[in-house]
Amino acid sequence: MVQITINESRILGTRDKMIYGHFIEHFHRQIYDGIYDPNSPLSDQDGFRTDIIEAMRKIQVPILRWPGGCFVSSYHWKDAVGEDRKPFFDKAWRVEDPNTFGTDEFIKLCEKIGSEPYICTNAGTGTAEEMSDWVEYCNLENEGQYAKWRIKNGHQEPFNVKYWSIGNENYGSWEIGAKSAEEWGRLVLESAKMMKHVDPQVELSAAALPDVDWNLNLLKHCGEFLDWISIHEYWDMVPEVNDLADYEASIAFTQNIDHAVTEVRGLLQAMKLDKKIKIAFDEWNLRSWHHPNVHTIKQGIDKKDYIDPRDKNDDNSQYTMADAVFTASFLNAMNRNCDIVGMANFAPILNTRGCIYSHDEGIVLRSTYHVFDLYVNYLGDTIIDSWSSEVPSMTVQNKSGKELELESLDILATKWSDQNGVALAVVNKDPDNNQTITVSMVGNGNKVTLYGINGESKNSFNDVDQNEVVIYKEALDDFENNMEIEVKPHSVNIIQML
């Protein structure tokens, strides 16, 4: 039994809702034959799938990052606005993109789901001028050819896109137009300068990673222009071989899950930029996308070797309670780091490894979708202090076969800034055993309700013809000090005391 003591009066921070953000890229079926499918009977007059829109609204997507991802590093936005759309060969993913979904369509998508748009620019084959032209198109009222072009395209009012990222993973050899640290600092400086000259109110991030040399060079050159520093991480790396980590190996990845935040935080503090620049963890997921024979020196020749394997991402049986428990553990960590992490974007929101899967006749809400539903709709926005007695440990084998010992419970205490009450996020990583917590805090009589997901087994999943992982609700007794609450194995729980 674990004793949890909560101190409501000790506030650790207020999380920004943008840590529950998402990402969508021109990869496989995320855009075309995904959210944007004008030929589908399920789509509205603008070509958007209404069932997907409804699912996105339910989890209140606060910010949506687009168009990439690796895709953006050979993407030229001007070819995808106006009437004269020019298809192009996407050198990142080696497919033709029709360019029928571009900036105007992305803004319309964000309007439909009530999301803040977050545009990632081409810092691979693009230029600082091209990036600043994009800001002109989106944000200037009527000055210059690009604002006038937007008006001509039927959008009199500016889009007022606040959040912009300069580049995507430009440190990586796999990225089109990869840069050295020195090249990167110079390009970001000139790009940021021009973008801020167009609209001084935009907030800019730039591609980075937990690497001292890369970040030092970036921040020395560009720190005064940046509002964010962008980091990415996928833990179960399966780009070439789709050998997914099992439940226990996936849970092993939760050990030190926020290491990248810790490392980047330290650098920002050392450079006295931690009060100016926040971390945007703007691409993350437990499992990397499967796309063999593309980001390799020796490329696939036959499409069955490099295009067809991407369909393996659509196997819904892969997205079990392992994915849900990992996702909840990550979100707990980001909540705890809310003073420095202001944004995070689950990658992607749809298809591939997304929390929503679409098919011709409808959608499937994968286990990770319900984690976002729980955290967005049932958890508080203010992080409060709590401490616990010793948490039972568990031993798991990581993907390399090494045994690791880690705590079986991950507990986060919150309250609301606009109402009374407390909500606990309790993640039970143990695949087999219930856990009992005893909650101690000031006050009695509040109604206690548990909202949770766990499925019948650690390998439960949802698919077109089955729905094993859903949110269940348990009305518990009114709160009394030292109240005992039991949580199920392999479960994610929000316990409200209102």
Q: Tens of pLDDT along 11-36?
A: 999 999 999 999 999 999 999 999 99
Single-letter residue type at 487: V
Class of domain 2-10+382-497: mainly beta
Query: Taking 90 as the threshold, does the pLDDT of residue 359 lie above it?
Result: yes
pLDDT at position 280: 98
Residue ranges matching CATH 3.20.20.80 in the chain:
15-378
CATH number of 15-378: 3.20.20.80
Mean pLDDT calculated for residue range 368-385: 98
Q: How far apart are CA 180 and CA 172, in angstroms?
A: 9
Mean pLDDT of the chain: 97
Q: How far apart are CA 114 and CA 105, in angstroms?
A: 14
Buried b / exposed e along 157-195 (16+ C-beta atoms within 10 A): ebbebbbbbbbbbbbeeebbbbbebeebbbbbbbbbebb
The answer to whether the CB of 75 falls within 8 A of the CB of 95 is no
Q: How far apart are CA 277 and CA 280, in angstroms?
A: 9
- 246-282 pLDDT, tens digit per residue, is 999 999 999 999 999 999 999 999 999 999 999 999 9
Give 210's pLDDT tier (boundaries 50, 70, 90).
confident
Residue ranges matching CATH 2.60.40.1180 in the chain:
2-10+382-497
Tell me the percentage of the chain whose pLDDT exceeds 70: 100
Q: How far apart are CA 169 and CA 478, in angstroms?
A: 50
Mean pLDDT calculated for residue range 355-372: 98
Single-letter residue type at 478: D
- 147-203 pLDDT, tens digit per residue, is 999 999 999 999 999 999 999 999 999 999 999 999 999 999 999 999 999 999 999
Helices and strands per DSSP (H, E), number in the chain = 11, 25
Q: Which pTM value belongs to this model?
A: 0.98
Q: How far apart are CA 452 and CA 467, in angstroms?
A: 15
Give 70's pLDDT tier (boundaries 50, 70, 90).
very high
Q: How far apart are CA 218 and CA 123, in angstroms?
A: 14
Q: How far apart are CA 279 and CA 129, in angstroms?
A: 26
Give 39's pLDDT tier (boundaries 50, 70, 90).
very high
Give 374's pLDDT tier (boundaries 50, 70, 90).
very high
Query: Taking 90 as the threshold, does the pLDDT of residue 444 lie above it?
Result: no
Q: How far apart are CA 245 and CA 235, in angstroms?
A: 10
Residues that are catalytic: 169, 283
Strand-strand pairing, 21-23 and 356-359: unpaired
pLDDT at position 154: 98
pLDDT at position 458: 98
Strand-strand pairing, 88-90 and 95-97: antiparallel
In the chain, helix, strand, coil percent, each to 5? 30, 30, 45
Mean pLDDT calculated for residue range 318-343: 98
Radius of gyration, alpha carbons of the chain: 23
Mean pLDDT calculated for residue range 360-367: 98
Q: Of 473, 466, 433, 470, nearest to 455 (Cα)?
A: 470
pLDDT at position 445: 84
Strand-strand pairing, 278-287 and 341-346: parallel
Query: Taking 90 as the threshold, does the pLDDT of residue 49 lie above it?
Result: yes
Q: How far apart are CA 246 and CA 325, in angstroms?
A: 12
Q: Which residues contact 147 (CB under 8 A, 6 or more apart)?
A: 136, 137, 140, 141, 158
Query: Taking 90 as the threshold, does the pLDDT of residue 443 lie above it?
Result: no
